């Protein structure tokens, strides 16, 4: 895809926020992933990909 601006990346990380209201969905997916990552002492990063588009990186500590 075309990727996201910084403002769009911040918006989609918030519970109930969606960028395209014409598509079905609740806007919960990424906020749930971020909450679970935090619960397990990890993190979710959304950043521009060097190849274009969006890179989603989930980092969790080793067990």
Bridge partners, 58 (sequence order)? 44
What pLDDT, in 10s, does the model give residues 24-61?
Answer: 889 899 999 999 999 999 999 999 999 999 999 999 99
Domains and CATH numbers, the chain: 6-59 (3.30.565.10)
Our CA angle for 38, 44, 49, nearest 5°, is 170
Compute the distance between CA of residue 56 and CA of residue 34 in angstroms, rounded to an integer. Answer: 11
* Coil vs helix vs strand at 26: coil
In angstroms, how far is CA 41 from the centroid of its own chain?
17
Report whether pLDDT(20) > 80: yes
What is residue 32's predicted lDDT score, i.e. its pLDDT?
Answer: 93
């Amino acid at each position: 895809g075309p990727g996201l601006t910084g403002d769009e990346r911040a918006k989609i990380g918030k519970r109930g926020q969606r960028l395209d209201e014409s598509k079905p969905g609740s806007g919960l997916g990424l906020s749930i992933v971020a909450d679970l990552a935090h619960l397990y002492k990890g993190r979710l990063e959304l950043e521009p990909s060097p190849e274009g588009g969006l890179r989603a990186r989930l980092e969790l500590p080793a067990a």
